[in-house]
Structure 1
Amino acid sequence: MVSGYDHHQIEQKWQRFWEKNSSFKAIEDKSKPKYYILDMFPYPSGQGLHVGHPLGYTATDVVARYKRMKGFNVLHPMGWDAFGLPAEQYALETGTHPAETTAANIDNFRRQIKTLGLSYDWDREISTTDPKYYKWTQWIFLQLFNKNLAYEAEVPVNWCPELGTVLANEEVIDGKSERGDHPVYRVPMRQWMLKITEYSESLLEGLDELDWPEGIKELQRNWIGRSEGAEVIFQLPSIDDSITVFTTRPDTLFGATYMVLAPEHPLVGRLTIADNKKQVKKYVEKALRKSDLTRTELEKEKTGVFLGSFAMNPVNEEHIPIWISDYVLMTYGTGAIMAVPGEDQRDWDF
C-alpha cells in the first residue's frame, strides 16, 4: 500500500483523463434539470493566478461537482476578461503587440487553472478580445442605441493624464491610479451613457428575489440610485440668479439651515467672495482628485468650505449659507442640496 499521496502522479493522471474525455462538457440533455454556474472571468495578467482566484473558483467548483452528482446538467464555463490597461501599457513600453502578450498570458492562466483541477467546460472557453465575441457586445450596444437607451453626455470622469484614459471609481485610490500610482483628476468629458434609470424599478424589484447578503443588495440599491423627490428653486441675491435643488424630503424645507454644492458645480466661481477664493480653489482641486466612491463613503469625515454667499429659502425667505463639500456629487440630482441636519445623517455630520 502506498504510504503517501503522490499528488504529481495521481492529479496529472486524472487531469489528463478529464481533458481527453471532456468529462465536464455540458451536452444538451432535456431529461436533466439545468444548472448554470458562472465565475467572474479573470483578467489574464502577466503575473498569473493569485490566491484570490482559487479562493472563489474552488467554492463554485464544489457547487458544480455537487450538482452533477445530484443529477443536474451543469454548465460551468471559463473565459478571459482580457481587455485592459496593463496590456496597453506593456505594449507602449516594449513595443510588443497586446494580442501577443494577451495570448501568452491566457495560455499561462489556462495551464494554472487546469493544474488546480477545476471542472470547467473548456469547449466553451471565450475571450473578450476575440472578434467573434465582442461583435455581440457591439450588437447589444446598437440595440440600446436604436432604443434611445444609449446617449452622449458631458459628465465628470476620473481622467489619468499619464495613462491617457478614464478610470473606474474602483481603479482610483486616494486620488491616484491603482496601476502606476499616477495622479487622477475629475474632469468633464463627453462620454457614452446608458439609461439605467429606465429600468431602475425592475432592477430594484429583482433584488428582492436574490439570495444575496442584505449588505450586498443595499450596495446595489445605492448604485441603481433611484430617488423620488422634488426640485426646489432657491434665489441667489448676490448674483441675481437662482439655483435648483433636488430633495427627497420636500416636507423638511422649513428645516433647511444651509446649502451645499458639489465642488465642480458651475456656480461655485460666481458665488465665491473674494476673501474665500484661495481656500475654495484649493478645496476644489483636492476634491477633483477623488473618485465618487471615495467622496460618498458614509464613514469618512465630512469637509467643506463656505463660499461667503447665501441662498434664500423659498418658504420663509430666510438667508442660508452656501458651502461646497465633496460628499455632494454633480452626477446626482442637480449637484446641489439643501441641508437639514435633523433629518439626514450626512448633513448632521457636516
Structure 2
Amino acid sequence: MGIVHDLSCPVIAAPMAGGPSTPALVDAADAAGSLGFLAGGYLGESDLVAQMEATRAARFGVNLFCPQAAPRDSDLAAVTAYAGGLVDRMESLGLDPGEIPRWLAAADPEDGFGPKFDAVCATAGRGVGPAVVSCTFGVFSGPEIDRLHGVGIEAWATVADVPAARDAVDRGIDTLIVQGPGAGGHRATRTVAEEPGTRSLADLVTAVHRAVDGSVPLVAAGGLSDRASVGAALTLPGVVAVACGTALLLSDEAGTTPVHRAALAGAPRTVVTRAYSGRPARGVATPFTEGPGAAAPAVYPGVNAVMRPLRAAAGRRGEADLFAAWAGTGVSHARSGSAAEILRHLGGL
C-alpha cells in the first residue's frame, strides 16, 4: 500500500531547505498523524545525520537535491558579471567583493548528494533513518531506487511536468509529489535552464494521473495553505495526500528566521524569480527581485553561491529586500501556532 496510504492526517509537512524544516516540525507532523520531511538541501552530511538523530518521529522523510550539471566557463562568466553589479550592496553589508571567486569555486553542483544518499541508507540500518527519501531537481536513478528499497526506504520524487512523472515511474518510484505553479521556494524543474510551467495544479495532477495510468499514488503540492484548497486537492484523481510548506512557515516549530516571518506579514505578493539562486523559485516580491535581481542568469548553484552571503547578511540586519523570503501563493493563510494543530485544521480533523 505504501506510507502515503497510511496517514490519519493527509496533510504532509513539505521539506523547506535553508532553515524552516526542523526535527521539531517533523515531530509535530508525526504527532498529527502525518509525515514530516527534513530538508537535506544545502545541509552537509554530518548536519543531516544530526537532524535525523534528533528526530523523535516514528517515521519521517528526507528530501535531497539531485546533482546538477557542472557549470561551463560561460556560466561562471555570467555569474561573475551578475555579481559585479552587486558590489555596492555587498560592501554596504560588510562583505568583501574580493571573495566572489572563492564563493563561486566552493559551489557544489552535486550538493553533496553522494555522501548524503549514503548517510540516509546507512542510518536506516541503525533504526534512526527515514521511512521515505524524496528527490527534487531530478529523479533518482533505477539503481538508487533499488538501493533505497533494499534498506526499507520508500522512494518519492517531486515532479513539475508529465515527462518527469513518466520517467520517475519507469524507474520504479513509489509516490509522486506533483508540484503546481503556486508552490513556494524552488520549482522542481529537472534542469536549471528550463522555465517552470504555469499549468494549474488541478490540470497538472489530472494529466499526470492519466499519463502514469494511476500506477502510483499522488501527493498534490503548491499553493495549498487553507482548508478549502486542501480539500479540493484531495478530490483530484489519484491524490492520496497533499504537501504544505508555506502554511507552516509561521508555526511554532518551524525554523523560519525573524526577517522571513516579518516578510510574510500582510499577505505579500509573491513572484517566481531567479534573483536569489539562479533557479526559478517563488518568494515575496521585493525591489531587488524586480530590479537588479531580474538580471540573474540561469546558473545554479553559481548564483546561489554568490547570493548566499548577501542573503545571510541581509537576514542578520533584518533587510528583507536581499533576503529570499520563499513563500507560495497561499501565503495569506499562513498562521502561527502549533504545527500539529495547523496540519489537523488543514486536513479537516
Normalised by the shorter chain, which TM-score bucket? under 0.3
Superposition TM-score, scaled by structure 1 size: 0.25
Higher RCO, Cα 8 Å, sep 6+:
2
Superposition TM-score, scaled by structure 2 size: 0.25
Greater Cα radius of gyration, structure 1 or 2: 1
User: Greater strand share, 1 or 2?
Assistant: 1
